[in-house]
Amino acid sequence: MTTSNRILLGVNIDHVATLRQARGTRYPDPVKAALDAEEAGADGITVHLREDRRHIQERDVLLLKDVLQTRMNFEMGVTEEMMVFAERIRPAHICLVPETRQELTTEGGLDVAGQEARIKAAVERLSKIGSEVSLFIDADERQIQASRRVGAPAIELHTGRYADATTPTEVADELQRIIDGVNCGLNEGLIVNAGHGLHYHNVEAVAAIKGINELNIGHALVAHALFVGFKGAVAEMKALILAAAKH
């Protein structure tokens, strides 16, 4: 069980691609954003190749595979098309996420407990290509224990409900749920990551949870980058989470 204060920042560049796709242009290029993020201290780059290709495209993933100095965390739905693509690019990390076409964003965690055989088969298949597989789940004991049973070495706890909480009580309850989830994951022997909806104003409490390995953050970074530049946005976030993790 790791209880060190070291915490990693995974920079999700999906929404750089969102801006590009909005006009069908060649810019802004998420590959450039990834390289800038690495220079500014990102420990890894996260991309979600959605089934509907609303932001990241295959071209982005293929280029990133060649140019990243850090490592790619490839988020994907559990579909045969994505399995085949992942086998082709062999990313260092793969995060299995739930996906529906109509959703605005990833609304909840993967139901691992409800489909253990299917997820176990996917984890086994993707582990064979040398990728570390994590499961994007809610901070729920049932899902965490199922994640361990299907053989995933890592989980990423969905922090969306915490990020969306409005009242102090709600925020405290959601934060406690994440803390309990982290402890449960560590007790199960899992690497515990977290992400979704994290922002400069809400990230410190999550970064301060002992034992979290990595935070994946995207939308807030891209939004802030409009005003301070991508490198500045990443460097600011990295400084914030490192300082919070030290306390």
Ligand X SMILES: NCC(=O)COP(=O)(O)O
Under the binding rule (CB under 6 A), the answer on residue 197 touching ligand X is: yes
Q: In terms of Cα–Cα distance, which of 102, 37, 105 is closest to 72? A: 37
Q: Interface residues for ligand X in 7-46 (CB under 6 A)?
A: 12, 46
CA dist 46 and 58 (Å) reads: 14
For the chain, the distance separating the N- and C-terminal CA atoms, rounded to the nearest angstrom, is 19
Q: Interface residues for ligand DXP in 42-81 (CB under 6 A)?
A: 48, 50, 75
Name which position in 111, 125, 219, 236 contacts ligand X (CB under 6 A).
219
CA dist 180 and 144 (Å) reads: 11
Under the binding rule (CB under 6 A), the answer on residue 162 touching ligand DXP is: no
Least distance from C-beta 82 to ligand DXP, angstroms?
Answer: 13
Q: Which does 217 bind (CB under 5 to 8 A by kind): ligand DXP, ligand X, none?
A: ligand X
Name which position in 28, 91, 109, 218 contacts ligand X (CB under 6 A).
218
Least distance from C-beta 51 to ligand DXP, angstroms?
Answer: 11
Structure tokens belonging to residue 164? 């969306």
Query: Active-site residue numbers?
Result: 48, 75, 196
Q: Is 14 annotated as a binding residue?
A: yes
Least distance from C-beta 233 to ligand DXP, angstroms?
Answer: 16
CA max distance for the chain: 47
Q: Interface residues for ligand DXP in 199-228 (CB under 6 A)?
A: 218
Which CB sits closer to ligand DXP, 221 or 247?
221
Which CB sits closer to ligand DXP, 3 or 162?
162
CA dist 9 and 5 (Å) reads: 13
Beta strands in the chain (DSSP E): 8-12, 44-48, 72-76, 93-96, 132-137, 154-158, 191-195, 214-217
Q: In terms of Cα–Cα distance, which of 142, 146, 55, 131 is closest to 93? A: 131
CA dist 170 and 160 (Å) reads: 12
Binding-site size for ligand X (CB under 6 A) equals: 12
Question: Helices (DSSP H) in 158-229: which residue ranges?
Answer: 160-164, 168-187, 203-207, 219-228
Q: Which does 198 bind (CB under 5 to 8 A by kind): ligand X, ligand DXP, none?
A: ligand X
Under the binding rule (CB under 6 A), the answer on residue 106 touching ligand DXP is: yes
Under the binding rule (CB under 6 A), the answer on residue 14 touching ligand DXP is: yes
The binding site for ligand X (CB under 6 A) comprises: 12, 46, 156, 195-198, 216-220
